[in-house]
């Protein structure tokens, strides 16, 4: 092989390596992160491929093409470096050029946006980096071995090249300690990513202590006393007056009571109109405030204190009070409240109906098998506050009593509650008398597949779960209940929900 032929061959292999690494990124990342593409996604497949292809081509040239040494160790290093560098490139491209990073941490200035993209890249590395680093090392090593086999004229035997490379590495560390220290720190970073990633994926998730401890009140007077105690406690908190726990009562225990568990970042005001409709039909209506919600300071850090244990106590107390308000207890929950309603359905045999609407058992398009590592990551990393719309922050259109952002720690605890339900659903049938699973096929916030997996487990125990899915063409938002959402369609949603709750047929 002539010098020119060898040079052309190495250039070709630079391109081949970049293409293979880029293709591997496109094929592997959906397995980790789910469907991240589309209008509401974090990234798209084009930027994933371009970023991995660019970093792969560069590092292959730097470590192999430039030195003309196709060594397995060098190939593995090129793959590792490509996997790590691709993350910040992907998110910088999407943040600065394509503007497609929707889960933003409030960037405004250019440095803010760059910092946000790098932060998201670090989080992505922590979550899935361990896998892509290992994959990059395997692909790089295999490509280097393949290149050596197909280009036998490039030098010594592979074992000789590895030994020579090791000698040069020792000499490099002795003569240039500062660059060698940088390389060592980088190796430590890779090791740290592997350790944290392995922990996130394989460490057991603690769900102990999340079982029900029912203490139902004996009668209507007991229910009123318990509610008055809640109101006295809330009077001591800096709450928005609209967001205190609400109770509509006919002055006595009636045949049916509805308990509504509002959505995460919303408050009891979410249910005022639908609650009034049910009250007018003879129901007592109880809408307890979710823990750490309803504060007048809409960007309070209190929501980050929300725990799965608090949600369990909140759900238990809601049912306990409802037992004194109605002979038949109907629990309705949306989003985070839907997760609590799902827990009630599994745990409380004194609940006659559980209407579970778009529960937060999974988020975005993250596949069911990745919910556990996402949960562990959200509970492990430092808490982060994320705006629903970073362009307008607290000026987001819609209800003025909702929180304009969410926290990763609270999301982690809601998902942890869901994992408990998922685990229990495999061991025993749900305790509630009737369960209705309500979903929205175009829901931008939660993953219906995770909810479907729980429903499948319930049905596998012989329990007949009823299901209803709103038509996709309605293009409903995640919050289908609050009439003050800018894209609300309660004129279409309420009749359906009333029919599911009461059994009344909708007017045609």
pTM comes to: 0.77
Pairing of strands 326-334, 254-261: parallel
Q: Same domain for 179 and 225?
A: no
Q: Same domain for 189 and 249?
A: no
Write out the chain's pLDDT in tens, 508 residues. Answer: 567 777 778 888 888 988 998 888 877 765 555 544 333 344 567 778 888 888 889 988 888 888 777 888 888 888 888 888 888 888 787 766 655 444 444 445 677 777 777 777 777 776 666 778 888 889 989 998 888 888 765 444 444 444 454 555 566 556 667 766 776 777 777 777 777 777 787 888 989 899 999 999 999 999 999 999 999 999 999 999 999 999 999 999 999 999 999 999 999 999 999 999 999 999 999 999 999 999 999 999 899 999 999 999 999 999 999 999 999 999 999 999 999 999 999 999 999 999 999 999 999 878 788 889 889 988 988 888 888 887 788 999 999 999 999 999 999 999 999 999 999 999 999 999 999 999 999 999 999 999 999 999 999 999 999 999 999 999 999 999 999 999 999 999 999 999 999 987 665 5
Tokens of 405: 């952002």
Q: Same domain for 234 and 377?
A: yes
| 289 exposure class (CB count in 10 Å sphere: 0-12, 13-18, 19+) | buried
Q: Which of these three, 202, 231, 263, is where a domain ends? A: 202
Decide: 72 and 145 in contact? Cβ < 8 Å.
Answer: yes
Q: Same domain for 180 and 321?
A: no
In-domain check, residue 508: no
| Structural domains counted in the chain | 2
Q: Same domain for 233 and 197?
A: no
Q: Same domain for 192 and 235?
A: no
In-domain check, residue 214: no
In-domain check, residue 210: no
In-domain check, residue 231: yes
In-domain check, residue 215: no
Domain span including residue 304: 220-502
Q: Same domain for 155 and 238?
A: no
In-domain check, residue 395: yes
Which CATH number do you get for residue 316? 3.40.50.1820
Q: Same domain for 230 and 198?
A: no
In-domain check, residue 213: no
Q: Same domain for 241 and 162?
A: no
Q: Same domain for 231 and 89?
A: no
Q: Same domain for 244 and 164?
A: no
In order, the DSSP letters of 331-388 are EEEETHHHHHHHHHHHH-TT-SEEEEES-TTSBTT--GGGHHHHHHHHHHSPP-EEES
Q: Which of these three, 147, 173, 202, is where a domain ends? A: 202
Q: Which of these three, 170, 202, 234, is where a domain ends? A: 202
Q: Same domain for 179 and 229?
A: no
CA gap 406, 306 in Å, rounded: 11
Give the H/E segment covering residue 329: strand 326-334
In-domain check, residue 481: yes
CA gap 121, 43 in Å, rounded: 11
């Amino acid at each position: 092989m002539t010098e020119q032929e060898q040079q052309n061959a190495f250039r070709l292999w630079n391109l081949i390596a970049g293409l293979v690494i880029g293709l591997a990124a496109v094929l592997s990342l959906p397995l980790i992160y789910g469907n991240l593409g589309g209008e509401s996604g974090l990234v798209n497949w084009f930027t994933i491929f371009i970023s991995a292809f660019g970093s792969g081509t560069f590092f292959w040239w730097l470590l192999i093409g430039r030195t003309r040494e196709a060594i397995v160790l060098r190939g593995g290093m090129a793959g590792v470096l490509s996997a790590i560098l691709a993350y910040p490139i992907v998110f910088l491209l999407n943040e600065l050029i394509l503007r497609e990073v929707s889960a933003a941490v409030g960037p405004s200035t250019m440095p803010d946006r760059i910092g946000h993209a790098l932060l998201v890249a670090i989080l992505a590395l922590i979550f899935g980096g361990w896998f892509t680093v290992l994959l990059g090392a395997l692909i790089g090593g295999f490509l280097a071995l393949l290149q050596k086999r197909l280009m036998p004229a490039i030098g010594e035997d592979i074992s000789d090249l590895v030994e020579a490379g090791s000698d040069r590495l020792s000499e490099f560390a002795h003569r240039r300690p500062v660059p060698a220290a940088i390389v060592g720190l980088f190796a430590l970073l890779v090791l740290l990513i592997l350790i944290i990633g392995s922990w996130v994926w394989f460490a057991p998730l603690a769900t102990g202590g999340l079982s029900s401890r029912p203490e139902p009140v004996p009668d209507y007077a007991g229910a009123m006393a318990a509610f008055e105690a809640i109101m006295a406690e809330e009077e001591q908190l800096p709450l928005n007056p609209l967001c205190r726990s609400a109770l509509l009562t006919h002055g006595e225990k009636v045949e049916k009571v509805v308990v509504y568990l509002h959505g995460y970042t919303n408050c009891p005001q979410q249910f005022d109109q639908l609650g009034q409709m049910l009250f007018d039909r003879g129901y007592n209506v109880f809408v307890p405030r979710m823990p750490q919600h309803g504060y007048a300071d809409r960007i309070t850090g209190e929501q980050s204190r929300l725990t799965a244990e608090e949600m369990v106590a909140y759900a238990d107390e809601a049912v306990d009070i409802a037992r004194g308000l109605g002979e038949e207890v109907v629990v309705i929950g949306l989003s985070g409240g839907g997760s609590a309603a799902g827990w009630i359905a599994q745990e409380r045999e004194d609940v006659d109906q559980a209407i579970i609407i778009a529960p937060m058992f999974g988020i975005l398009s993250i596949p069911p098998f990745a919910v556990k590592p996402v949960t562990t990551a959200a509970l492990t990393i430092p808490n982060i506050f994320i705006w629903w719309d970073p362009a307008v922050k607290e000026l987001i259109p819609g209800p003025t009593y909702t929180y304009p952002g969410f926290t990763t720690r609270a999301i982690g605890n809601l998902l942890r509650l869901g994992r408990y339900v998922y685990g229990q659903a495999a061991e025993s049938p749900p305790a509630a008398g009737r369960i209705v699973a309500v979903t929205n096929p175009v829901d931008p916030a939660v993953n219906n597949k995770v909810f479907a997996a729980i429903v499948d487990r319930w049905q596998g125990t012989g329990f007949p779960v009823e299901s209803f899915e709103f038509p996709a063409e309605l293009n409903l938002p995640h919050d289908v209940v609050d009439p003050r959402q800018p894209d609300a369609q309660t004129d279409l949603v309420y009749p359906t929900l009333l029919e599911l709750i009461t059994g009344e047929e909708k007017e045609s």
